[in-house]
Structure 1
Amino acid sequence: MLEQPSIKTGLPLYIDEAARTSREAVGIVRSDVVRLLEEWSGSYGVRGSGDGGTDGNGGYGLGDAGGSGEVALADRAQLVRAALTVHNDGVVLAVASTEAQRTARLEALLVSFRDAADVALLAPSKWRGERYSVWDARGHVALRVERAAAGLLGVRVYGCHLNAYCHLPIPSTSSNDTNPYPSNLLNTHDNMRMWVARRSFSKQTYPGMLDNMVLASSFPPVAGGLPHGLSPTENIIKECAEEANLVFSSLADYERPRPVSVITSFMDSQERGWVPDTEFIFDIKLPPSFVPVCQDGEVHGFELLSIDQVSKHLLNGEFMPESALCVIDFLIRHGFIDPSTEPGYMNIISGIHRPLPFPGPRYNFK
């Protein structure tokens, strides 16, 4: 995990000049990205309003995201100025009246990064065609950012993870006991098992690594995440059906997922860049007879593991990063990791509950 970035390692990202004045940042732009922006704009410390373009979207439509080759050198400065302005104390998005305008202008610049042969920051193979929502200090969506570029701008990202577990019945050893499954043996640490998923080997990120049984790894408006107007709980229930064939059609089906925790971290990922991450965590206790079935091709397969096996996979680095933190949180809450046996207990607790300086969503749709 990364120590909190500062102005020495990047510049704060602001929605507008008012946010810059009040120091309400929504991200932190890495120093190498800042240098590239200054090079493309033709000077260091670009000044001006950044209000460019000839139409409501700064002259660049969202439909251009497919890419059409490199942008001419003379147009690079226009792309930068249409999207943002670099100041000594921060990067400010161009003047725009709507979220769609900010999104379109910034995405046009990101597409050019992706397609430029002399820029290695955003590989075409990593482009997802999905967008993270970025919230301002008032809880409104200010813009949406291509998922693959979120780490360049250090904007806050989100996910929902489900820890699915069961207790295997332990037969009685007493010949006089008419109940083969004594109640005092049904909920012990020794017979707890956790369902884990192995990610598809064709996934763009962390192929073949272990994962929670169900997760929504982002909050874009479409594909694989939390649609607007859908709460984390509603989202995880939706993903249960799509990823594991776990359907809650009636109250009698299964115990429903319970929201149990939120973890926050600031990761420095070679694959994804700077990631201020927030994960909503849910637990569900399933009957031993339940077996998950992949429905959407995102998962190679599921495994039912003992806690010892889960711990070994964690220590071997076989879980994707966010899922590893979610499993650690589960082990803490269920008493498998405690201060009497783990010397780094306090550091672990603080490490998965880092204060993040950027605003997040507010769920008040009802």
Structure 2
Amino acid sequence: MAAADPSRPRFSLLDIVNQCDSFPYASDPKLNQLSFLAFVVDDIPIGRIHTSLVPHLVAFNQQSRPVFHITETTVSFMPWLSDYDSRSEAIAQMLDQWRNDLDNFACLSGWRNELYGVYTHIQDPATTKGGAALAIERSACGLFGVHAYGVHLNGFVRTGPKSGDVQMWIARRSLTKPTYPGMLDNMVAGGMGFGHSPKYTVLKECMEEATIPAHIAANAISVGTISYTKLSKDDKQTQPETQIVYDLELPKDLVPAPCDTEVEDFRLWSMDQILDAIHLGEFKPNCACVCLHFMVRHAVLTPENEPDYLDIVQRLHRRIEYPAPKKWPTFKEEY
């Protein structure tokens, strides 16, 4: 690595966690300054909608059959939208209009043409699909504050007998990605499209992003999750997310290689190199948190060497208050 530039700002590890988990907690006075309505399905909160979005919902309601019931505190669907198909179609029609108005909906410039499931406690197959009350375009999730899911994979190589004797493969994100272009990332990561399970997503992303064949990727081990809620810089969007984390020990002679346009390159780094890049803010924040999760588990970060150890460990696992799937739907999987 090049010599460190002393003029560059350095962040504490807790600063990085705060960048990722930025929505205020109940004890934070800032919470009272925010202006969100609960997004509700069947009386169950499933997200948050900023009040600035309400005029756009009202405008969309100006049709023969209004879609949304809006009160001072909630946004819900009108009673005639009572199942997965009708709710998903109504949202899709509205977003198809909004994507032509990027001045008001800049996030839709990163349109993925990929659906995320929005889950509910109700499991009635007559009104839900795979446990989801509706599905929504990935790039629009922040507009509705719904719980999104992804997988992150730590690809690592052992260098010695101790738990912390490891190096990790790090990816640099493509310069053309709509979010965090050029920043550092975990070896493999991806959002979970509706109808894909976590392990299937790992296998798919390993081949697509790093050219790692399925028979090797299948050795990935589930090692827990990180969870957080992001607040946008303008305080108008929230994004609760859970990342399901996997570790994959790789043979020393296997070198990941970009297969699609998601990744610029890979580099095999020591824990010290990764920590330095995290302190310099070079990682996409949630990817930095996945690295910290790895370092805690491998005793690279300990209560003795990290003053914010307790805060970091606790903050990597925010409780998300919205329903989660009991079983992952797999109707899109092809083996």
TM-score, normalised relative to structure 1: 0.74
Q: Does the C-alpha gap of structure 1 residues 188 and 322 become closer, same or farther in structure 2, counting only changes over 3 Å?
A: closer
Which letter maps to 2:37? L
Q: Does the C-alpha gap of structure 1 residues 26 and 200 become closer, same or farther in structure 2, counting only changes over 3 Å?
A: same
* Counterpart for residue 102 of structure 1: 87
2:133 to 136, 142, 147: 142
**Does structure 2 retain, via aligned residues, the 8 Å contact 1:83–1:109?**
no
Which letter maps to 1:10? F
* Counterpart for residue 73 of structure 2: 89
**Does structure 1 retain, via aligned residues, the 8 Å contact 2:206–2:217?**
no
* Counterpart for residue 3 of structure 1: 24
Higher relative contact order (Cα pairs below 8 Å, separated by 6+ residues): 2
* Counterpart for residue 167 of structure 2: 193
Structure 2 residue 286 is the aligned partner of structure 1 residue 322: yes
**Does structure 2 retain, via aligned residues, the 8 Å contact 1:11–1:34?**
no
**Does structure 1 retain, via aligned residues, the 8 Å contact 2:203–2:218?**
no
Q: Say which SS state the counterpart of residue 168 (structure 2) adopts.
A: strand
Which letter maps to 1:83? V
* Counterpart for residue 210 of structure 1: 184
**Does structure 2 retain, via aligned residues, the 8 Å contact 1:13–1:25?**
yes
Which sections of structure 2, spanning at least 5 residues, go unmatched? 1-21, 26-30, 124-130, 331-335
**Does structure 2 retain, via aligned residues, the 8 Å contact 1:161–1:215?**
yes
Distance in 2 (CA, whole Å) between partners of 1:80 and 1:302 is 54
Structure 2 residue 51 is the aligned partner of structure 1 residue 25: no
Larger radius of gyration: 1
Which letter maps to 1:13? F
Deviation of 1:235 after TM superposition, in Å, equals 2.0
Distance in 2 (CA, whole Å) between partners of 1:255 and 1:238 is 10
Distance in 2 (CA, whole Å) between partners of 1:154 and 1:259 is 26
Deviation of 1:241 after TM superposition, in Å, equals 2.0
Which sections of structure 1, spanning at least 5 residues, go unmatched? 41-75, 169-184, 222-227
Per-residue CA deviations over 1:79-122 (Å, capped at 9, x if unaligned) read 596331111221002332431211111222223333237x5234
Question: Aligned-residue CA RMSD in angstroms?
Answer: 2.5
**Does structure 1 retain, via aligned residues, the 8 Å contact 2:150–2:192?**
yes
Distance in 2 (CA, whole Å) between partners of 1:83 and 1:186 is 61
Per-residue CA deviations over 1:282-337 (Å, capped at 9, x if unaligned) read 01111211100121221111010111110011111111122111111111111111
2:150 to 145, 152, 159: 159
Q: Number of paired residues?
A: 295
Q: Does the C-alpha gap of structure 1 residues 108 and 6 become closer, same or farther in structure 2, counting only changes over 3 Å?
A: farther
TM-score, normalised relative to structure 2: 0.80
Q: Does the C-alpha gap of structure 1 residues 347 and 310 become closer, same or farther in structure 2, counting only changes over 3 Å?
A: same
**Does structure 1 retain, via aligned residues, the 8 Å contact 2:61–2:67?**
no
Deviation of 1:123 after TM superposition, in Å, equals 5.1
Q: Say which SS state the counterpart of residue 342 (structure 1) adopts.
A: coil
* Counterpart for residue 99 of structure 2: 114
**Does structure 2 retain, via aligned residues, the 8 Å contact 1:255–1:285?**
no
Which letter maps to 2:268? L
Structure 2 residue 113 is the aligned partner of structure 1 residue 129: yes
